[in-house]
Amino acid sequence: MDKQFAEDVRKGLSAEPKYLHSKYFYNENGDRLFQKIMELDEYYLTNSEYDIFENQKSELLEYFSPDGRRFDLIELGAGDGYKTIVLISYFLQKQAEFTYIPVDISRNVLKKLSNTLTGNFPSLEIHPVNDEYFHALEELNKVDFDRKVILFLGSNIGNFREDQAILFLSHLAADMTHDDRLLIGFDLKKDPDIILNAYNDREGVTRDFNLNLLTRINEELDGDFDLTLFKHYPTYNPQTGETVSYLVSMKDQHVRIGALDEIFHFNEWEPVFMEVSQKYSLPDIERLAVNSGFSIEMNFFDKREFFTDSLWVLK
């Protein structure tokens, strides 16, 4: 049993209102479902960022290594590397000197990524790190003397509330020098229907992705969740830019989690907060950079301007 997982579940389901940590979405089945989400027509985020990398990879390399100097390409939450492979392939083609360091909490997805990259790019220097972001950066800082280019892609920053995002980015800044760069992905505010559909797809894959966390609790913590009694419910607020996903209990019920030796009560129509996915305007991004100790060097946009990868430097 993962004791931290168990304790986080206990805290979340004992809280008022209830919540579960989205980082626990990513077991083997969660990884598979998220890959499927990224292939959905409604989920525009992946293709938008892929568009940026495919069409602006030469400009990105110029910013990453303007003097041709060696750098470390550190990707936080690397996942399957679908988009990053575009950059890696181009950088190798241009004989750029770099080491790729994918960091991910999922050992399963990191192993698959490493196997894919070593198979396709035998000359690539790759050092995968299975760890939490900040501990990984702290360890890398002990031995690393190259320029760090840190990638935090896919609008993962949107999974934080604003105060949490500032804390997270300030922590990142503390692990960087003025020679380093941070490339961070932001999903931009747009037609609310386009945004909401991305989290409420017709096939129900996002629903299954959220419900998979309940399955994981059943399997790993001896829970007895009945998944048919919970409804996936996403919302989007165009004023605040927040997309929030809930699992809603459709009846008054009790759920026992054996590993915790506890029973949790759910009222009829009681929501369990699962995840926030913040959307941003350009002034929002500017404010976030300044409040975290950064300045914006360049914003890269996809063709439809649905998304931006923003390159930041320390102030």
Token pair of 29 as six digits: 């089945």
- The residue-averaged pLDDT of 265-274 equals 98
For the segment 167-177, the average pLDDT, to the nearest whole number, is: 92
- Give pLDDT tens digits for 151-163: 999 899 999 989 9
DSSP letter at 189?
P
Domain boundaries, the chain: 3-40+193-278, 44-191+281-314
Q: What is the mean pLDDT of residues 111-133?
A: 91
Summarised one tens digit per residue, pLDDT across range 12-40 is 999 999 999 998 998 889 989 998 998 99
Where are the alpha helices (H) located in the chain, listed in sequence order? 3-14, 28-38, 44-64, 84-93, 107-120, 133-143, 162-174, 192-198, 205-221, 282-291
Question: Which tens digits make up the pLDDT trace of 209-229?
Answer: 999 999 999 999 999 999 999
- The better pLDDT of the pair 2, 313 is held by 313
Q: pLDDT > 90: what percent of the chain?
A: 84
169, 137 contact by CB (below 8 A): no
pLDDT at 293: 97
Q: In the numeric block, which tokens belong to residue 53?
A: 């990398």
Check whether 141 has a pLDDT greater than 80.
Answer: no
Give the torsion sign (CA, 33, 37, 39, 41).
positive
Q: pTM (2 decimals)? A: 0.88
Architecture of the domain defined by 44-191+281-314:
3-Layer(aba) Sandwich (3.40)
- With bands split at pLDDT 50, 70 and 90, how would you rate the model's confidence at 140? confident
Rounded to whole angstroms, the Cα distance separating 254 from 288 reads 41
- Determine the Cα–Cα distance for residues 72 and 189; give it in Å rounded to an integer: 32
Whether 134 has a pLDDT exceeding 80, the answer reads no
What integer pLDDT is reported at residue 144 of this predicted model?
64
